[in-house]
Structure 1
Amino acid sequence: MRHIVLAPSTTALLVIDLQEGILQRALAPHSSETVVTNAAALAKAVASFGGLTVRVKMDFSKLPGQPTDAQSRMPDPLPLRFTEFSSAVCSLSGPVVTKRQWGAFHDTELDILLNRGGITAVIIAGIATNFGVESTAREAWQHGYSVIIAEDGCSSLSREMHEFAVHRIFPVIARVRSTGEIIHSINEAQR
């Protein structure tokens, strides 16, 4: 088991985009149920040692519309509950940050919230690994935070997309661990 030293008062969990419309998509390599279960387990562990959980959600009403080669299409109008957190995520305590881009730091209050709370390390879980999670991890690293990615607390639209981020991008800007390894480190920090 690869141990990480975590300080309770300076660690936050960022739960990225676990909204009904996103969770209904076909995901790989981890199912939406696995991602939500692992995110909830991390939130429980973080809360047990006095850490902060921040739930991040996407505001789909103001998506950027720049031209790209592969346009992302959203249903119009959005189905009922598409933008709502899953019930498991709704039950988590902690602030909610609404983002309008892939990354949770861009044009949001997240950095101020973390700085005022004395946070220096962030654990990140959510969907999609190579979009919202990766963008947030890059921004967190650029803002000087220590970044830990919960590999099995993330998933994407394909195994290849997930694995490229996990094996090629994240090791350069973060430490990648399983939910079990992170929870073990949290439990060790409480001894």
Structure 2
Amino acid sequence: MKLLGSKKIYETMEEIINPEHTMLVMWDVQNGLVNNVFNKNEFLSSAKRLLEAARASGMKVLYTKITPLPKEYMSPAMISSYMMRFHVDDPEKLPVFMAPGSSEAEIYDELRPKENDYVLNKHTASIFIGTIFDNMLKAAKIETIIFAGIATEIGVESSARDAGNLGYYTIVASDACSSSSRDGHEAALKSLSSVVMVSTVDDIIKNLKY
């Protein structure tokens, strides 16, 4: 670690992911997404190992859940995007994506939250937009965020870029993220590696203090 005035500049992975100032974010690990990733078994194995290690170290763990807005509170651009995603030509035909209470909206059982984990409902592809997440991090004195979950090229990438721009040490757990698109997943990891840290679960665990 180096000091610049009162600023602490972490140099090693061990310093960066010290559980005292690190949070693991499990992004949208809901049934409707987990069941459609291109590498479900591999993803689940890595995500479970990361969760177990984070909890064993005392690290804070937060889950996000896609929580749809009623159409009257959605922007026209958002409605248009959903129409393209669901291949409909009339907004009235749009299904409710991840409807609260539906099976697809529930967090995948093998990755379910534990008692001390926090579940954050959100409406956009960035954890920082429309939530009090930044305030929560500051209150808990969090300096580092590790991102895992689905989809790599959508919410994980958007949130990781925002985290870096807001001044947090940011790590994307490459094999604990996934997508329905292998190409999208791999392209996002390549792009992210130029602006944040992209590390395997093994490398994160190896450097985690217990």
Pair 1:127–1:65, CA change in 2 (3 A)? farther
Tell me which residue corresponds to 1:39: 47
Contact 1:97 1:109 in 2 (8 A): no
User: What's 2:112 paired with?
Assistant: 90
2:65/2:122 contact within 8 Å kept: yes
1:145 is aligned with what amino acid? Answer: Y
1:178 pairs with 175, 190, 200, which one?
Answer: 200
Q: Amino acid of the residue matched to residue 10 of structure 1?
A: H
Equivalenced residues, count:
182
Of 36-45 and 68-77, more deviation after overlay is shown by 68-77
Shift of 1:39: 2.2
> Structure 1: how far apart are the matches of 2:205 and 2:133?
23
Provide the rounded CA distance (Å) in 1 between the counterparts of 2:203 and 2:130.
32
TM (normalized to structure 2)? Answer: 0.78
Which residue in 2 is equivalent to 1:142? Answer: 165
- Name the counterpart of 1:73: 86
Higher radius of gyration, 1 or 2: 2
Gaps of 5+ in 1: none
Q: Does 1:161 align with 2:180?
A: no
Pair 1:159–1:141, CA change in 2 (3 A): same
| Change over 3 Å in CA distance of 1:81–1:182 after alignment to 2 | same
Over aligned residues, Cα RMSD in angstroms?
2.3
Shift in CA distance, 21/141, structure 1 to aligned 2, threshold 3 Å: same
Alpha-carbon distance in structure 2 between the residues aligned to 1:56 and 1:77:
18
Q: Secondary structure at the match of 2:86?
A: coil
Distance 1:112 1:158, change over 3 A: same
**TM-score, normalisation: structure 1:** 0.85
Bigger mean CA offset, 71-80 vs 8-17: 71-80
Are the counterparts in 2 of residues 60 and 83 from structure 1 also a CA contact under 8 Å?
no
* 2:2 pairs with 1:4: no
Letter in 1 for 2:126: G
